A = this chain, B = another copy of it.
Amino acid sequence: MIIIMEPKATEAEIQKVVTSMEAKGFKIILNKGDVMTVIAAIGDKRMVDPASIASLEGVRDVKLVQEPYKLASREGQEEDTVIEFPNGVKIGGLEKPVLMVGPCSVEKDIDGLLQVAYAAKEMGVPFLRGGAFKPRTSPYEFQGLEEQALKYLATAREKTGLLIVTEVMDTYDVPLVEDYADVVQIGARNMQNFKLLKAVGKCDKPVLLKRGPAASIREFLLAAEHIMCNGNEKVILCERGIKGFDSTFTRNTLDLAAVPVIKKYSHLPIVVDPSHACGRRYLIEPMSKAALMTGANGLLIEVHHDPDNASSDGAQSLNIEQFKKVAKNLNRLIGRIDYDNRNGKNE
């Protein structure tokens, strides 16, 4: 931690900071410049809130030297985390990127869901996604079928062997969702619902954690840390677009640079959701390919058997025919990436 004092800070104020930091176990190095004093406090003490230091009189600014997460950090674990599922599917590191497809919400018509599941299986996709509990901006929109939807997803799994990804919105529902899901999803709006993070931190199932629309990369990795420090280290991160100043043509701003940045600072797998990020069907294929080239470990893509009549997010869903076409192109690209990875070649 670097503590920068005001040019006019008094000797007593400087001493107070030094004493306070030493009391917290830091080793102090004092740099008195012509203009101001800079205090370096060395030590791996992540529990000290920089704001508590910043509040001392005479302190101008406090700067972090080390990223404040530990379990999620590349420094804490050098090799990539690869999550392996009982059926042998793997996600993370240099494993072949995987697709996760399905409708935004699971709806009453189980046949529609099964059509999507069979198409996914046909295209070699290992994961089926679908919402049972739906966070909706307006209370007047469809809120999800809850347990009924979980049962439909289980049926789809039985019939196709696909793994199920589905969201949990509340601590109360964690045991129920964990029971049905292969991957428990935390939605973007709940990225800093810390009680929920703690609850899924106690699950046995991998967690797909979506980045909040205004979350910095550091806040995102700290949210993962909340899960990991409760015991569950199988976290899959998901970039799904951040809030930007221009929502005329896309719903959010897809921050693809976050993928290689996170790969540098963390060992966790990261997938990209172009459907929610862009909110427009025509952008899914180009942004999916772009995501794969940044090193993403997978893609979440919304597919609905009848998007025109979907209860949510129709505008960004592919229909089954469109999905097959896109999946074919993505599979070709994934094949090349996998070939290059295995042969040590770049791209």
Contacts and interface: CB of A to CB of B under 8 A. Distances in A.
A63 B286 contact: no
B309 A52 contact: yes
Given A43-B33, A49-B141, A217 B317 contact: no
Given A68-B138, A169-B194, A278 B257 contact: yes
Contact of A249 (B261, B279, B286): B261
Contacts of A133: 195
Contacts of A173: 195
Interface size class, chain A: 35 or more
Contacts of A135: 192, 194
Contacts of A230: 139
A68 B244 CA distance: 21
Contacts of A290: 256, 290-291, 293-294
A34 B40 contact: no
Nearest to A220: B246
B291 A49 contact: no
25 contacts: A35-B44, A46-B140, A51-B279, A51-B316, A52-B309, A52-B312, A52-B314, A55-B307, A55-B308, A55-B315, A55-B316, A133-B195, A138-B222, A139-B194, A169-B195, A172-B195, A189-B194, A214-B214, A249-B257, A249-B265, A250-B261, A253-B253, A257-B283, A260-B286, A293-B293
Interface of A: 2, 4, 7, 20, 27, 29, 31, 33-36, 38, 40, 42-44, 46-47, 49, 51-52, 54-57, 63, 65-66, 68-70, 75, 133, 135-143, 169-173, 189-190, 192-196, 212-214, 216-219, 222, 225-226, 229-230, 242-250, 253-257, 259-261, 264-265, 277-279, 281-283, 285-287, 289-295, 307-317, 325, 329, 332-333, 346-347
Given A51-B312, A292-B293, 17 more contacts: A2-B38, A7-B75, A27-B33, A31-B40, A52-B312, A55-B308, A55-B310, A68-B138, A69-B138, A139-B225, A169-B194, A170-B195, A212-B214, A216-B248, A217-B248, A218-B248, A257-B278
Nearest 5 A-B pairs (CB), nearest first? A214-B214, A55-B314, A33-B42, A170-B195, A189-B192
